[in-house]
Structure 1
Amino acid sequence: MDCIPEFETINGSDAFCTRLYSVDSTANSAQPTLWRDLDLTMSSIVIDHVSADGTTLECDVRTSPALERFFSGESFRTEYDVPIEDVPDAVLVIPVLAQVCPVAWANGADVYVDEVDATFAAALDDVQASLCSMHDFLEGGTLYAKETVDVQREAGGESGLLFTGGVDSTCSYVRHREEEPTLISIRGWTITPDAADDDKWDHLRSRASSFADDHGLETAFVESNMLSFLAHPMLLAHYKRHVDGAWYSSVGHGLGLLGLCAPMAYARGMDDLYVAATHWEGIDLEWGSRPDIDDHVRWAGTQCHHDSYDLTRQERLDAIADYIEAEAPALQLQTCNVRMDGNCGECEKCYRTAVGLRLSGLEPTDHGYQFEHEDYREIRTALEEGRWVLGQDERYMWEDIRDRARETEPSSPDEAAFFAWLDDADLDELVSESRSPLSHRILHAGARNTPARVYNTVYPAWRSAKSGLQRVRSR
């Protein structure tokens, strides 16, 4: 590229690694202030503008024509609850890089930025190596920066924990409670920035705040359009066939959610940032948040940690049970896939958590789940009839429950009958019978050759209509 003078390789250049090149703008008087003169006929993403106004971060992104379909055209925006104006630009750019780099790697595209924190640049190198090793469809790419900045921050002695109030994040709190971590809640993934999700966000804020008040902790709330900034329906259409879940869950969310916290963590002086593990040792699933991803994420003064990977979900419930017995007898969990203002008690995750609580010696009704022994029959029927869409992660979680049930004396005939059935059940068959319907797969396949503006309009409308039909049928 003619506008780029000689490059110096700053970090790794092995296959599947990000190669970061730093450009000395004084070496060539023709060097542009921004990458505005870059030839975008090649596959590339340019971070054109990063600004901080009070508590608001905003970034503009340009892409080559072939990549336009993966971006909605919105500016990237994130709102924090602390001022970020004094955060260095090299750190402010981290949230948007954390979202766009996996998209670039899926397309063999290069990413261009004016400046970036050197520690985070090295982290991208490591994260890309892990993701490319995990996903065959990722091609990798190169990160170009005019300047890598060795940003320094004194140790602040603070820590943070991504928190929802579910089993995983509550277990992580229990294990790190002596650090008194700030509880961080994020709006932008499972809770969208849309007004329709305002109530869900209010419920999560209220739950996190109540938990923090009860335990003498601080809270941090982050709101971002990271998924509406990306054209997530188009990413799903192109890559769903390669992954067990959706794009963000299978590829982007470990780097994406942690990177989103960088300006806030810098401003608050967080030395450690924890994200609770979903899976555990021995589960080798293509998932976007794993130790070989999250443990690599770092930036000036902050190291991220994939927490409690050494415990199965049942063992995490055991840790919570010990904490409840010793310190918090009234603790409530929130894991529901349907509601945010409590647990519905009828979805797969509610039933699975209730069974796990019983296996850890707790009464589910004391901790947020209406559950009777007769419900074991409903769980078996739902699993046998394929009412719930299950992935491989749910398969492993029911296997974890089965392993513990084999060591546990049933407390009722219904429980004994269910555990006996589960002991002989073919979990692989139960998962395969619950896969997404053919209509979903046809839509995604057709969308790969559909103009982005058309698909991004049609897909949400189709999904809304489909969801409404399913709700009518379920009544």
Structure 2
Amino acid sequence: MSAIIIDSVTAEDDTLEASIRPSSDLERFFTGKSFRTKYDCSIEAVPEGILAVPVLAHVCPVAWAQGADVYVDDVDATFARALEDVKASLLSMHDFLEGGTLYARNATTVDPPAGEESGLLFTGGVDSTASYVGHRADDPTLISIRGWTITPDASDDEDWETLRSRVGNFAAERDLETAFIESNMLSALDHPMLLAHYKRHVDGAWYSSVGHGLGLLGLCAPMAYARGIEDLYVAATHWEGIDLEWGSRPDIDDYVRWTGTGCHHDCYDLTRQERLELIASYVDDPTADPDASRLELQTCNVRMDGNCGECEKCYRTAVGLRLAGLDPAAHGYPFADEDYHDVRSAFENGNWILGLDERYMWEDIRETVRETAPSSPAERAFFAWLSEADLDELVAESGSPLHHRLLRAGARNAPNSVYNTVYPVWNAAKAGARRVR
């Protein structure tokens, strides 16, 4: 019988550790490492049922993909009910998911913590900054997580310190609290194998397409309980009218909850361009925040210490800032009229690996342009081309390199002994690809 057993969940000062024991048929999806998460506050007084939330939030979707059951000693009863709601959403979204049952010796009900604070998952990008602007009157705690795009590996130490510094400075200027969480969740799971096995079913990768809404919010549970955070917000990537198979959506995030905390998928009523316009209104209103005029966004796909100004996401953000009436150079993006030519060339030459979400975001820009007068001949020429471009064709012609697809196909059906031999080769190929969006 396919099963995953959470053998123990412990908290020592600021560190959570859980042992994961999968049945033999599921071993390939786990590395054998304990699940570890480090917070910047003590979690020793957090009830055990809530301590189990982070590991269950990551293990359960893997179990559902294989029709496996999950066993744990204690679970917060509110979160157990939330898992059923999230499972139903994910199963309706992904037809390869089979479901499974969570069995707990104790489904506990505890008193909610004192406090009416709010928290916001925050990176300093367009989405989370727009979410902050919308909730700034509540002075939300800004929460940053290491473990996904910034891995626990020593090679990412500098990126993590850069993010901590950037978020810390943003918070200090606005008298906000911060929370920094470090987890090995995608090292305890064998994320490359999950990608190899399920990539053919999803547009992005395992975590982006299936796991990250439940996973990232779930990581926050012990910290939220310890700090008395009642409302936890995660900014939307997409918006109403876009029905993509994505791991963070209203019908996932809005269901996530545990005793004392409800989670919210935020800004889903705004397109990405409308979020930039919300940020522009914040920047242009000095009475709202005297530091807003110096606001720098961070969205780059290449670097964390600023924006390269040349990747697809940098160009897309710079174009959007211009349309919103802001100078991209004043907010972290070197951009001039001649860059419009480079954007068009990158599209036409297939220089970027694009997914459906990028297709919708450029369409959002195209729709905005129809209501906005171009400010220069170069801008006019680019938008004239964009208005006629076949975005579906441009996305279809991009994609991951063939050798990556072949490696994934081979790994899907390899026995563990073979997989363990070829894993270093697969991992090296993976390291050469861009990080998940």
Q: Distance in 1 between matches of 2:326 and 2:433?
A: 35
Structure 1 position 329, deviation (Å): 1.1
Aligned match of 2:280: 321
Matched residue SS, 1:259: helix
Q: Which residue of 2 aligns with 1:351?
A: 315
Equivalent pair of 1:94/1:260 in contact (CA under 8 Å): yes
Separation in structure 2 between the aligned mates of residue 122 and residue 72 of structure 1, nearest angstrom: 28
Match of 2:259 in 1: 300
Q: Name the structure 1 match of 2:208.
A: 249
Instruction: Tell me how far apart the structure 2 counterparts of residues 403 and 117 of structure 1 sit (CA, whole Å).
Output: 45
How far apart, CA to CA, are the structure 1 residues paired with 2:430 and 2:259?
Answer: 41
Return the TM-score normalized by structure 1: 0.89
CA distance in 2, matches of 1:153, 1:463: 43
Question: Distance between the aligned counterparts of 2:48 and 2:433, measured in 1?
Answer: 42
Q: Which residue of 2 aligns with 1:400?
A: 364
Superimposed CA distance per residue, residues 261-280 of structure 1 (whole angstroms, 9 cap, x where no aligned partner):
00000000000000000000
* 2:360 counterpart letter in structure 1: Y
Q: Which amino acid aligns with 2:424?
A: T
Moved more, 146-155 or 334-343: 146-155
What SS is found at the alignment partner of 2:45? coil
1:3-402 to structure 2, matched below 5 A, reads 42-326=1-285, 327=289, 328-402=292-366
Cα shift readout 1:216-264 (whole Å, capped 9, x = no counterpart) = 1010000000001100111001100000000000000000000000000
**CA shift digits 1:3-25 (9 cap, x unpaired):** xxxxxxxxxxxxxxxxxxxxxxx
| Structure 2 letter corresponding to 1:462 | A
AA partner of residue 380 (structure 1): R
Structure 2 unaligned blocks of 5 or more: none
Aligned residues between the structures: 426
Which protein shows a greater Rg?
1
Aligned structure 1 segments of 4 or more residues deviating by more than 3 angstroms: none
Give a deviation string over 1:312-371, Cα, whole Å, max 9, x none: 000000000000001311111110010100000000000000000000000100100000
CA shift for structure 1 position 456: 3.1
Q: Does 1:458 align with 2:425?
A: yes
Structure 2 residue identity aligned to 1:127: V
Q: Report the Cα offset of residue 449 of structure 1.
A: 2.0
Seq. identity, %: 72
The superposition leaves residues 82-101 of structure 1 with CA deviations (integer Å, 9 ceiling, x where unpaired) of 00000000000000000000
Q: Residue by residue, what CA displacement relative to the aligned partner does 1:49-69 show, whole Å, maximum 9, x if unpaired?
A: 110000000000111100000
- 2: CA distance between counterparts of 1:79 and 1:147? 25
1:429 to 393, 398, 402: 393
Distance in 1 (CA, whole Å) between partners of 2:229 and 2:430 is: 40
Superposed CA deviations along residues 153-174 of structure 1, whole A, max 9, x for unmatched, are 1441111000000000000000
Calculate the aligned-residue CA RMSD, in Å. Answer: 1.0
CA distance in 2, matches of 1:202, 1:152: 36
Say if 2:39 and 2:182, in contact at 8 Å, map to a contact too. Answer: yes
Distance 1:380 1:339 in 2: 22
Residues 386 and 433, structure 1, Cα contact 8 Å, conserved in 2: yes
CA distance in 2: counterparts of 1:79 and 1:454, whole angstroms: 31
Q: CA offsets, 1:287-334, max 9 Å, x none?
A: 000000000000010000000000000000000000000131111111
In 1: Cα distance, 2:32 partner to 2:423 partner: 11
| TM-score, length basis structure 2 | 0.96
- Cα distance in 1 between the residues matched to 2:422 and 2:253: 32
Cα distance in 2 between the residues matched to 1:155 and 1:83: 16
Distance 2:85 2:253 in 1: 10
2:219 aligned partner, one-letter code: L
Q: 1:449 maps to what in 2?
A: 413
Distance, in Å, in 2 between the alignment partners of 1:456 and 1:467 is: 15
